[in-house]
C-alpha cells in the first residue's frame, strides 16, 4: 500500500489526517502571570548581559574618552574620562526589576482583557492536525 493521496486528496486509512478545531475562550490569569514572569525574567537577564557587553566594548574602544573630549570642547569644562561599571550595572539591574514587575502585571491585564473580549466574541478559533 502506498502513501500517495487518493482521488479525493486524502491519504489512505493508514495515514489519515485528523483536523481538530478548537476555540480558545479563556486564558487563566495565574497562568498568564507565571508565563509573563518567566519571559520577563529571561529578558532581564539578557538586558543585564547586554548592558555589560555594551559597556565593555565602549570602554575598550576608548569611546568614553572621545565623548568626554567632545563635551569638554563644546561646554568648556572637563568631565571624567570613563564611566565606571558599577553605575551602569546598577542602572541595568534597576531597569530589569522595573521591566519584570511591569511586564508581569501587563501580562495579567492582557489575559483579563482577552477573557472579556472572548466572552463577547466567542473566542479564538484554532485548527490542529495530527501530522
Each residue's pLDDT tens digit, 3-51: 555 555 555 555 678 889 999 899 999 999 999 999 999 999 999 999 9
Torsion angle, CA of 87/92/94/97, rounded to 10 degrees? -160
Please determine, for residue 91, whether its predicted confidence score (pLDDT) is greater than 90. yes
Average pLDDT rounded to a whole number, residues 75-97: 85
Task: Output the pLDDT for position 79.
Answer: 63
How many domains is the chain built from? 1
Report if residue 14 sits inside a domain: no
Report if residue 45 sits inside a domain: yes
For residue 86 the three cell numbers come to 558599577
Mean pLDDT of all residues in the chain?
86
pTM for this model (two decimals) = 0.72
Higher per-residue confidence, 64 vs 40 = 40
Task: Output the pLDDT for position 62.
Answer: 81
Task: Output the pLDDT for position 1.
Answer: 46
Cα–Cα distance, 84 to 59 (Å, whole number): 9
Cα–Cα distance, 125 to 57 (Å, whole number): 48
Per DSSP, the three-state class of 21 is: strand
Report if residue 1 sits inside a domain: no
Cα–Cα distance, 11 to 16 (Å, whole number): 6
Report if residue 117 sits inside a domain: yes
Report if residue 71 sits inside a domain: yes
What is the percent of the chain with per-residue pLDDT over 70, rounded to a whole number?
85
Indicate the helix (H) or strand (E) that contains 22.
strand 19-24
Report if residue 23 sits inside a domain: no
Q: Which domain holds residue 118?
A: 28-129
Task: Output the pLDDT for position 10.
Answer: 53
Report if residue 17 sits inside a domain: no
Amino acid at each position: 500500500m502506498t502513501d500517495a493521496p487518493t482521488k479525493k486528496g486524502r491519504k489512505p486509512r493508514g495515514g489519515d489526517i485528523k483536523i481538530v478545531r478548537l476555540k480558545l475562550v479563556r486564558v487563566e490569569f495565574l497562568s498568564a502571570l507565571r508565563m509573563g514572569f518567566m519571559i520577563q525574567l529571561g529578558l532581564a537577564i539578557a538586558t543585564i548581559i547586554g548592558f555589560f557587553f555594551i559597556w565593555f566594548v565602549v570602554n575598550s574602544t576608548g569611546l568614553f574618552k572621545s565623548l568626554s573630549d567632545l563635551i569638554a570642547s563644546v561646554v568648556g569644562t572637563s568631565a571624567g574620562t570613563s564611566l565606571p561599571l558599577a553605575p551602569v550595572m546598577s542602572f541595568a539591574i534597576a531597569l530589569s526589576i522595573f521591566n519584570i514587575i511591569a511586564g508581569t502585571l501587563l501580562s495579567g491585564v492582557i489575559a483579563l482583557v482577552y477573557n472579556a473580549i472572548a466572552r463577547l466574541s466567542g473566542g479564538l478559533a484554532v485548527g490542529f492536525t495530527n501530522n
